[in-house]
Chain A
Amino acid sequence: MSEKNLLNSNQIGLLFDASECIGCGSCYEACKKENNLPETNKDFLKDHLSDKTYTVVEEYDDKYARKMCMHCNEPTCVSVCPVGAFEKTKLGPVLYDAEKCIGCRYCMQACPYNVPRYEWGTTSPRVRKCNLCYDRLKKGKLTACAEACPVEATICGKMPDIIKEAKKRIKEHPDKYYPHIYGLEEAGGSNVLIISPVPFEQLGYSSKVPKQSMPNFTMQAMEKIPSFVSVGGIFLTGMYWLTRRKNQIAKEEKLNSGKGR
């Protein structure tokens, strides 16, 4: 989905503003509480994404950066999962269904943001990641992290509104922001957008993420399959017929020349 389509959509997303974030950890705590996740680190700033932590706040000098599932418009995980265990909902969140999952972990290998985590410690492991508080969104509530944020560093809203908000903040305070909205074009756009006072690489956001929909990389190869099968099938059948005929003729000629003698 392009930016234009997002502007007309009813999807819900998050805007994280690293210039505003004070590193209080309210979003981290709220996420843990909402998802009934156990404590994983005494110092939340030193924690990392795991099967028990769906969002983190990282410290870079005096700046803070949130990491979590980006909820892409055309998610890599949805496209690579062989059994369709991931789903991009109409509301925006990308959800995972453990009942379908076979545990191939292709989603983890493929995700451009390295988000999905695995329950390595169990015998029936699930993939774990942020679900954008889907149940809360359905009830018209904000995500837990956005609700908990005391300074409007994480805001939750309809995509057109948060895109406008991001642009407004950058435009009104060009001195305070690096002129780029991370997530608007990365991997074909996502429902989580990030703005920052410094280049994104400095806050640990990968600058290598291609600015196009990730599933296209695979489709370029996959879309050739139908024509390959039909052309290949005809070619092989033809070759079979031709070479057999060739052998027959060679045999007959051998016989004939034998008679001639």
Chain B
Amino acid sequence: MKKFFLKITFWKAVSIIIAIIGIYSLIIRFSKGLGASTHLSDAVPWGLWIGFDFIGVGLAAAGFTIAATAHIFNNHKYESIARPAILTAYIGYMMVVALLVIDLGRPENFWHPLVMWNVHSVMFEITWCVICYSTVLTIEFAPVILEKYKLTKLLKVIKKITVPVVIFGVLFSTLHQSSFGSLYLIAPAKVYPLWYSSFLPVHFFISCIAAGLSMIILEAYLSARAFSQGLNIRILSGLGKGVLVVIIIESVFKFAELSVLGKLPLLFVQANETYIFWLEIILGSVIPILILTHPKYRVNRTGLYFASIFTISGFILNRMNVCVTSLVRSSGQVYRPSFEEIGITLFLLLITMVAFKLVVENFHVFAPEDSIKEKGEEVLTVQSKQQILSND
């Protein structure tokens, strides 16, 4: 017992507190219902949990972009990050599905969309795409587990079907990533015009690619620190370039659309929506573009790390804005998540991180640093070499 307490570090203590709060919140949620455990209401039927589902799915987007780059576009340079990307997506989706079920008013009926169909519903389409894509992710991630237990026969079968499976995965992902935006198409009078757009699905799709790639950069950085497993800086800066291109496309598209629709004056109206919209643009677009266009920072781990943190923050803000901020005015009610809503969200995040850590520690997910350096290209800049050394 004494040994146990001695071993408790700061993060372990935080984790234990989050777990206790999370379990308590779950008990309240299921014993007393949504009214008692959330600040949701008739005016604000969707809150933090739905927003978090958007965020989780978006951050998992590297799962399909990288799989496509490596297996469909045959760019084998990126094969080494396919595994962390797919693992992120897999664990992310499990969290999203769990949170969705917790958020349902009648969770015991979660299986109804399988047998009761309404093909006109975006929600129906999302449900099916998420189910299908989770299956795809299982197949895509299976080799990691099969390798470890040397199930070579099954491994061969899976390798044979990889390409069609990846193609299906890309299609399902594109559909439901964009469909999260489509959810709001039907409420043109409710969503604040800075965020409403008949191209919402396209915006959701483009922005999830930047967020997903940033997530991989962030993970690679943290993994390198945590278990001295990481990624080649060449690959990381390749990802950074991808993030930059996608953010520029999204920004140009967004502002071009605002200007064509005559919404530019809204950018200068004194209103909470304006300020928070600008914050989203500055965090998620301006700062990452500044960092990533800088020739020095784009090939530097710390530069890439900060660029990815800002991109992800901007992305999180964007999804919460569409889901919460944009609806405040029309609903006439300000929503702040309850203690239980935050508790359950943090608990699921914790489980996600622990699961990720356990899998990375026990399976061959990241290539070991050594092999990276052996294969590593000579074109590394001086700074990036120093950076690798300082991280080791």
Contact = CB atoms under 8 A, between A and B. Distances in A.
B189 A123 contact: no
Nearest to B201: A221
B31 to A, nearest CB: 7
B174 interface: yes
Contact of B185 (A121, A217, A225, A237): A217
B57 to A, nearest CB: 15
A79 B105 contact: no
Nearest to A127: B105
Interface in B58-91: 68, 71-76
A110 B167 contact: no
B72 A236 contact: yes
A222 B182 contact: yes
B37 to A, nearest CB: 10
B7 interface: no
Interface in A152-209: 206, 208-209
Interface string A82-97: 1111000000000000
A26 B71 CA distance: 69
21 contacts: A49-B42, A79-B120, A79-B121, A80-B121, A81-B118, A82-B113, A83-B113, A83-B124, A102-B105, A103-B109, A105-B46, A109-B187, A116-B42, A118-B105, A123-B31, A125-B105, A218-B186, A221-B179, A221-B185, A225-B175, A228-B171
Given A79-B186, A222-B182, A243-B75, A123 B45 contact: no
Contacts of B41: 120
A121 B103 CA distance: 14
A46 interface: no
B116 A218 contact: no
B382 to A, nearest CB: 30
A50 B33 CA distance: 17
A125 B106 contact: yes
Contact of B187 (A79, A85, A112, A125): A112
Nearest to B175: A225
Nearest to B163: A240
A82 B128 CA distance: 10
Interface string A45-58: 00001100000000
A82 B171 contact: no
Contacts of A208: 189
Nearest to A97: B116
A76 to B, nearest CB: 6
A22 interface: no
B258 interface: no
B106 A103 contact: yes
B34 A83 contact: no
Interface residues of A, number: 57
Nearest to A50: B42
Interface string B102-126: 0111110110110011101111110
Contacts of A236: 68, 72, 167, 170-171
Contact of A240 (B34, B35, B110, B167): B167
A117 B41 CA distance: 9
Given A79-B120, A82-B113, A125-B34, A106 B183 contact: yes
Nearest to B187: A110
Contacts of A100: 109, 112, 116
A232 interface: yes
B161 to A, nearest CB: 13
A222 B72 contact: no
B367 interface: no
Nearest to B100: A104
A243 B171 contact: no
B46 to A, nearest CB: 6
B328 to A, nearest CB: 14
Nearest to B198: A220
Contacts of B36: 121
A222 B34 contact: no
